[in-house]
Structure 1
Amino acid sequence: MQFPESWLRAFVNPDLDTDALSHQLTMAGLEVEETAPAAPPFSGIVVARIIEVAPHPNADKLRVCQVDDGSGAPLQIVCGAPNAAAGIKVPLARVGAQLPGGMIIGTATMRGVESAGMLCSARELGLSQDHAGLLALDADAVVGMSLREALDLDDMLFTLKLTPNRADCLSILGVAREVAALTGAALTLPAFAPVAATLDDRLPVAVAAPDLCGRFAGRVIRGVNARAATPAWMKTRLERAGQRSISALVDISNYVMLELGRPTHVFDLQRIQGGLTVRWGKPGETLELLNGQTVELAADVGVIAAGGIVESLAGIMGGAATAVTLDTTDIYLEGAFWWPQAIMGRARRYKFSSEASHRFERGVDFESITEHLEFMTRLLIDICGGQAGPLDDQVLELPARAPVSMRLDRCHRVLGVPVSRQEVEQIFTRLGLPFQLRDNVFIVTPPSYRFDLFIEEDLIEEVARIYGFERIPDLPPIARAQMHTAPEALRGPHALRERMASLDYQEVINFAFVEEAWERDYAGNADPIRLLNPIASQLAVMRSSLIGGLLANIVHNANRKQGRVRVFELGRVFMRDASVPDGDLTVAGVRQPQYLSGAAWGPAFEEQWGVPVRQVDFYDVKKDLETLLGAQASKLICLPASHPALHPGRSGRLELDGVAVGWIGEIHPRWAQQSDLAHAPVVFEIDVAAISVNEMPAPAELSRQPVVIRDLAVWAGADASYQDLLNTLTHTIASNATLGIVKDIKLFDVWRDKSAQTAENSLAFRFWLQGRDSTLDDATVEQCIDCLLQALVSEHGVRQRA
């Protein structure tokens, strides 16, 4: 929110300079993001009056002006502006003046005629982009006065960065209330005489949706002059608040919104057919808005209709059909209270925002509607003329202002300082918060313009803001320090991140809100959890997988010429689960596990002379995952399975102790091609809960006996997997005590005879055997190998390879 300091000081004028006032607001929670002068620095520019204008003897487009600058002797200045005329007052840069940008004005000769200065346009002074002619000043401007003084160009512009809960400060009046409470300076409200109704004309209004509109007021005004000029003081305030002057009717509406925080709407009365109806929209209805955009309405979008035709989006923007023009003579002035929940997100749904919706979706004062309309009527009549009808006011349903209690001792405990009861009373009084005091408990009734006071902590915050955060001592908390030792077997999130970083992966943090297409394509989720009020259309659903975000990270880096990317993310995913109850850390029907996901793309190793360049593959990432799991890797099984995001032949489901815990594989060629990636990234995703507890190492006595190594090669059917054979061997060893001497098994060779008639694979196993108390003899070793071979034969029909 931007506004000039002079406008604020018209309401409240504390004995503080600009910097002190800025600091005071910032420390009270209204962050002053920037202060800047209303005009860029320049000097030597004064108000001057053109006495006489004559044609230039040697140039058709130039004229010679005699100018009074208040010094007593007229100055001769050559000017090419088309609006230079005798009698008008304009800015004059005297000889020696410095313009914005550092240009120094000197005496010049233009086509043989001497010019002692320069008459200036608004753009040349940095006041606007208008360069059509000289900047015309008011007739009452004092000749010879510094232009900075005449136009108050040393006025400072404040830019506030407001938090969403402080809707009451989206106006000069709201900020002035805060300044008055902070400094104790008197608050001066604009004084005006209400306009007496001289017409009996009324426009019938029916409010058919009390859950949309809680209060609706308006009046008819006839005979206005829409071509009347907006007063210079109002135009200046609007421009310095970032609003472009359009016409008197529109400017007055914008002025009231900025000064009092009251969005209003002005209808062209002659364009309204019949009365107005406030209702919810109907599917299929459309409306052309003031910004030229045509929107399709829905049943949860509020509208104002006339004769069955939608005229405006309630609380958001008016329609083009009933917009006022310079030919408008009769208007209907409307002001209403729209329920915040009925306005939230509607403008963003149509991909725009308006000043009105920005305020209404946060909450606007519902008690002062008629007072503000009376003030606006006075401005309209004074500037545009006309006659006003009676002010109609329908009150249907307004927010209940539930009292909020604050215990004084609780306030002391939270703030850490004993703010006295008398000082708290003064703070609430200065803030305009009516209260009752019972046994050191303040019972505060929030005013109609404060939509941020609901709980005890809100009131404690108000005390802290006005008391002053600088007055709260910076003391460390005093508490009994009890050290808790983390279980050695626990592998927490930080440890997992550290291990992933040591494996050459970089951590990323992505939005939990994702595109709906990601859920459909990468997770196979046809029913994702949708957001009621998404911050953007491409962030409309909750993620149930981290893969989409990592793929987007890779694409982002690839588009910026990064040839090797290795990233990981540890974060929550969200999926429907009817068995999840509602609790302190759970939401009914939504499971929120933590996943760890990694992705690698590009060369397997950084480019160097000693290693040939090859693209990262499935086994590189599988090895990284096994390294991450440590001792748990021995229980990790990768089974062939299909996943929507992964290559059907180069992916698998991860299992630990027979429980599915995640996925690993190459990205499906379809999605790699869609992302314009020359090579498919390899990704994995695993449930953090399944890998957070590691097995404790168990100490055991080492055998002093030599290790015996034996190889066994078998022919197995093409459908027999290594994992199945290994499971059989492991089970056989565990069930036979004599096989306890088998310490390890590895597959070291796979071969297929392409000339053979049968589709068999040769699998070569290597066994490590070691006795505990004595050296193994050949007979014992051969007996063990034969027992294992027989187990493979009986379970899988293998035959020993000669």
Structure 2
Amino acid sequence: MKFSENWLRELVEIPVGLDDLAHRLTMCGLEVESVERLGTQLDGIVVAEIIAAERHPDADKLKVCRVSAGGGETLQIVCGAPNARDGLKAPLARVGSTVGSITIKSAKLRGIESNGMLCSGKELGLDADFDGLFELAADAEVGQPLADHLGLPDAEIELGLTPNRSDCLGMHGLAREVSAQLGSRLQFTDPQAITATHAGTLAVDVQAPADCPRFCGRLLRGVDAKAKSPRWLSDRLRRAGVRPISAVVDITSFVMLELGQPMHAYDAATLQGAICVRRATPGESLTLLDERAVTLDPEFLVIADAQRAIGLAGIMGGHATRVTLDSRDVYLEAAHFAPASISGRARKFGMHTDASHRFERGVDPRLPRMAIERATELILQIAGGEAGPISEAQSIQHLPPPRSVSLRRQRLRRVLGVAIDDADVGRILRDLGMQVETTVDGWSAVPPSSRFDIAIEEDLIEEVARIHGYSKIPEQMPRGEISAAQQPEGRIAPSRMRDHLATRDYVEAINYAFTDAALLAKWSLAEGGIALANPLSAELAVMRTSLLPGLVAALDANHKRQQARVRLFEVGRSYHASAAGTREIERIAGVACGDAMAEQWSDARRALDYFDQKGDVESLLALCGAGINEFRFENGGPEFLHPGRGATIWRDDVQVGVLGALHPRLLKALDVDAEVHVFELDLERISQRSLPISGELSRFPSLRRDIAVVLSDEVRFARIEAAVRQALGDRLVELVLFDRYSDKNLGIGVSSLAMGLILQDRSRTLSDQDADHCVELAVSALATEFAARLRG
């Protein structure tokens, strides 16, 4: 945000100098990035008029000018400016004055004496866009000091506004901020309504009221588009960093700078039928003011007439309907667009406009009508014409509603560490345009509609601190009642899981919660993805639905940098959209590749396999304290897992995670040159643990009986273990699988499983008959349920 110091001083009383003003603005949160003083070296520069301009006898590009410098003085000056002509008024640097680093002296140019220099705006540091003579208004007083004529000295001040202070992107909003900071009086009023002198209007149809809850338009007839912008208008635009174009366009730019409301002017003769605000149709094209042709989709909001789109809403108008010097009837448009409907749209075309900059941050919804009235006033004053009535379409339910925010006296004192008088707090809030009521324990304030950033109590505390002055708040160590967070016994803390995985040779990684939609599609995880309205880049445009894509990308980056053995894990959230709404799931995930163990001398090298990582997962699940038997592993899994080396993990009847090797097809698509094993668990579901309950230790010895049974390979051991435990009850202390044997003599599709039954009773010593009976029960249960037979 760049503005003229003199313009600001016209809008609000400022009893301090430029340096103090800049310091105060920075200290209240409106950081001053630069200050450029203008017109401080214009001594000896006056307004002059060229009486006659004749060609130099010895130089084609030079002219010999007779110049009136006021007081009846006439000077002869040789000038090479292409626009030097009779009757032109321009700055004159007298002999002895200084322009830049040059001191003006009398000289002879190609044999002709020259007594002074006619100056360009570039030479004077007033206009960098034009290298001819700086043309002054026809009514400029000859002989008057140029600084007085141009309202100099002045200063261009540039602010680095944070996105939450969009209210200061207009001079009126900035003046209100300065008024509150200095306790001074505002010197402007809201624009007055203009009486319509003709009844012509254009119908307005807002088909996207949530995106455009308010739209105002007015038809002006008989406008002289060739009228020249007055010097005061073009100077204010230049000092705000805006290039003057033509009177009507300059006025819309000026109103945007003054009020903070972007607006646009159309040549009414080019419009066909009613004005419509709608979403673009797929493939719809539009040529913008900068003659760039863009292809749109329904993500974009457009202003359209009955035939085609005429402007990209909140960003830039169309080229075909622009106001030209031949325009006679002008249609003014000012609207309120919801920030979400504009945010990020300009960047999709590599653009950043003044309008999009403001609408992305939020514009006061009261301003559209005020902007139309102010622009109408200036156009009638400068370019003439007749004004019609304002047509307005609005959707009240989609406009931001007024909201009341409470501020507690004790909370204010505790956060700031200093007591501020109640009267000062009320004055500060009122000076910032809020409606304030005193309550028993503090205040209740309704922020103005321009302050989108005030929503909670801390926002009001920040406002009070800014205006009261940070320098008045004493420096002291923070203090407060801090109590240790109570960790529930029935839940395993994520920090403990982190430590456990670290002991198993995993390194923690932290990835962005944003990812690439194309990457999720490769993993078949795009369903339920949440697209960002304003992404940092195309590669970070969607919220992740799993931690694994980011972890595998990190693993691959390490593997391609000569790290053959990689172990990574992450604790974070995944994000999912559904018909029921959006939800976040906290997960813990791990990825691994390379050897099962780090290089050593005692064991031979062996590649990591499914069971190695299953052991890691089982050790993690064992932290829940209920025993691994609460969890079961079932064959299968999502598409990204290898069909023969993947599993889903269940706790009771709820799936809590997946485990396995990545599918070779996915590895090829990701260009990963390694076999990768992964796991991902729902942290909330696995962290619930059963509290340990002490029990009496048996005073009697245990017995062990080994059995070997032959049964189908399709039977999972978890089902075998469940059947044996159900058959033997409390007498079975532990079931150990210690061997698996398969051979063609046993049969095809069957294997022999050797298991050890650890038996014990709390009331007596088990006999051999008791042990043999347990073996019979176990074998019988397996035979009945799985058609197993005892081997040998």
Q: TM-score surpassing 0.5?
A: yes
Task: State whether residues 269 and 331 of structure 1, in contact with CA within 8 Å, keep that contact through their aligned partners in structure 2.
Answer: yes
Q: Cα distance, 1:213 vs. partner?
A: 5.0
Q: Name 2:729's counterpart in structure 1.
A: 735
Q: Name 2:110's counterpart in structure 1.
A: none
* Pair 702,768 (structure 1): closer, same or farther in 2 beyond 3 Å: farther
* Pair 611,265 (structure 1): closer, same or farther in 2 beyond 3 Å: farther
Work out the CA distance in 1 between the residues paired with 2:729 and 2:191.
98
Work out the CA distance in 1 between the residues paired with 2:123 and 2:603.
64
Matched, 1:758 2:759: no
Matched, 1:677 2:672: yes
Work out the CA distance in 2 between the residues paired with 1:141 and 1:335.
38
Bigger mean CA offset, 755-764 vs 121-130: 121-130
* Pair 474,615 (structure 1): closer, same or farther in 2 beyond 3 Å: farther
Q: Name 1:185's counterpart in structure 2.
A: 184
Structure 2 unaligned runs (5+)? 70-74, 102-116
Bigger mean CA offset, 499-508 vs 13-22: 13-22
Q: Cα distance, 1:656 vs. partner?
A: 4.2
Work out the CA distance in 1 between the residues paired with 2:286 and 2:322.
11
Q: Superposition pairs for residues 125-140 of structure 1, below 5 Å?
A: none
Q: Superposition pairs for residues 164-183 of structure 1, below 5 Å?
A: 164=164, 166-183=165-182
Bigger mean CA offset, 759-768 vs 641-650: 759-768
Q: Cα distance, 1:36 vs. partner?
A: 2.5
Task: State whether residues 666 and 681 of structure 1, in contact with CA within 8 Å, keep that contact through their aligned partners in structure 2.
Answer: yes
Work out the CA distance in 2 between the residues paired with 1:342 and 1:717.
60
3-state SS in 1 of match to 2:332: strand
Q: Name 1:572's counterpart in structure 2.
A: 573
Task: State whether residues 169 and 175 of structure 1, in contact with CA within 8 Å, keep that contact through their aligned partners in structure 2.
Answer: yes
Q: Cα distance, 1:261 vs. partner?
A: 0.9
Matched, 1:668 2:663: yes
* Pair 152,658 (structure 1): closer, same or farther in 2 beyond 3 Å: same
Task: State whether residues 710 and 768 of structure 1, in contact with CA within 8 Å, keep that contact through their aligned partners in structure 2.
Answer: yes
3-state SS in 2 of match to 1:550: helix
Q: Superposition pairs for residues 507-656 of structure 1, below 5 Å?
A: 507-511=509-513, 522=523, 526=527, 528=528, 530=530, 533=533, 535=535, 543-554=544-555, 565-575=566-576, 592-601=584-593, 616-631=608-623, 634-635=628-629, 636-656=631-651
* Pair 548,45 (structure 1): closer, same or farther in 2 beyond 3 Å: farther
Q: Cα distance, 1:449 vs. partner?
A: 4.0
* Pair 524,431 (structure 1): closer, same or farther in 2 beyond 3 Å: closer
Q: Name 1:35's counterpart in structure 2.
A: 33
Q: Cα distance, 1:664 vs. partner?
A: 0.7
Bigger mean CA offset, 324-333 vs 254-263: 324-333
Structure 1 unaligned runs (5+)? 100-117, 579-587
TM-score by length of 1: 0.71
Work out the CA distance in 2 between the residues paired with 1:157 and 1:343.
31
Q: Name 1:113's counterpart in structure 2.
A: none
Q: Name 1:389's counterpart in structure 2.
A: 387
Q: Superposition pairs for residues 101-120 of structure 1, below 5 Å?
A: none
3-state SS in 2 of match to 1:422: helix
Q: Name 1:432's counterpart in structure 2.
A: 433
Q: Cα distance, 1:323 vs. partner?
A: 1.2
* Pair 766,217 (structure 1): closer, same or farther in 2 beyond 3 Å: closer
Q: Cα distance, 1:493 vs. partner?
A: 1.9
Deviations 1:719-747 (A, max 9, x none): 34454555555556x5373x65x685434
Bigger mean CA offset, 620-629 vs 693-702: 693-702
Q: Name 1:797's counterpart in structure 2.
A: 788
Work out the CA distance in 1 between the residues paired with 2:134 and 2:782.
104
Deviations 1:421-476 (A, max 9, x none): 43234224422345566878766565454455667766555444433344455667
* Pair 607,386 (structure 1): closer, same or farther in 2 beyond 3 Å: farther
Give the residue type in structure 2 aligned to 1:498. Answer: D
3-state SS in 2 of match to 1:652: strand
Task: State whether residues 119 and 134 of structure 2, in contact with CA within 8 Å, keep that contact through their aligned partners in structure 1.
Answer: no
* Pair 466,45 (structure 1): closer, same or farther in 2 beyond 3 Å: closer
Give the residue type in structure 2 aligned to 1:158. Answer: E
Task: State whether residues 264 and 334 of structure 1, in contact with CA within 8 Å, keep that contact through their aligned partners in structure 2.
Answer: yes
Give the residue type in structure 1 aligned to 2:644. Answer: G
For these two proteins, the number of residue pairs brought into alignment is 752
* Pair 187,698 (structure 1): closer, same or farther in 2 beyond 3 Å: same
Q: Name 1:112's counterpart in structure 2.
A: none
Task: State whether residues 521 and 644 of structure 1, in contact with CA within 8 Å, keep that contact through their aligned partners in structure 2.
Answer: no
Matched, 1:161 2:161: yes
Give the residue type in structure 1 aligned to 2:509. Answer: E
Q: Name 2:104's counterpart in structure 1.
A: none
Q: Cα distance, 1:551 vs. partner?
A: 3.7
Work out the CA distance in 1 between the residues paired with 2:10 and 2:483.
57
Work out the CA distance in 2 between the residues paired with 1:229 and 1:602.
75
Q: Name 1:271's counterpart in structure 2.
A: 270
Matched, 1:689 2:687: no
Task: State whether residues 195 and 388 of structure 1, in contact with CA within 8 Å, keep that contact through their aligned partners in structure 2.
Answer: no
Q: Superposition pairs for residues 79-478 of structure 1, below 5 Å?
A: 155=155, 157-164=157-164, 166-189=165-188, 200=198, 202-207=200-205, 212-214=212-214, 216-226=216-226, 234=233, 237-238=236-237, 241-274=240-273, 276-280=274-278, 286=284, 288-290=286-288, 292-296=292-296, 298=298, 304-336=303-335, 338=336, 340=338, 343=341, 347=345, 354-360=353-359, 363-365=362-364, 367=366, 369=368, 372-377=371-376, 379-380=378-379, 385-390=383-388, 392=390, 394=392, 402=402, 404=404, 406=406, 409=409, 418-435=419-436, 446-447=447-448, 449-451=450-452, 462-472=463-473
* Pair 376,136 (structure 1): closer, same or farther in 2 beyond 3 Å: same
* Pair 723,233 (structure 1): closer, same or farther in 2 beyond 3 Å: same
Deviations 1:144-198 (A, max 9, x none): x999x9998994542323334x43222122112101111123333399999998x
* Pair 432,573 (structure 1): closer, same or farther in 2 beyond 3 Å: closer
Q: Name 2:499's counterpart in structure 1.
A: 498
Give the residue type in structure 2 aligned to 1:671. Answer: L
Q: Cα distance, 1:220 vs. partner?
A: 0.9
Work out the CA distance in 2 between the residues paired with 1:43 and 1:713.
104
Task: State whether residues 224 and 329 of structure 1, in contact with CA within 8 Å, keep that contact through their aligned partners in structure 2.
Answer: yes
Give the residue type in structure 2 aligned to 1:494. Answer: S
3-state SS in 1 of match to 2:11: coil
Work out the CA distance in 2 between the residues paired with 1:539 and 1:590.
19
Work out the CA distance in 1 between the residues paired with 2:719 and 2:491.
31
Give the residue type in structure 1 aligned to 2:592. Answer: A
3-state SS in 2 of match to 1:508: coil
Bigger mean CA offset, 410-419 vs 544-553: 410-419
Q: Cα distance, 1:263 vs. partner?
A: 1.6
3-state SS in 2 of match to 1:249: helix
Q: Cα distance, 1:625 vs. partner?
A: 2.3
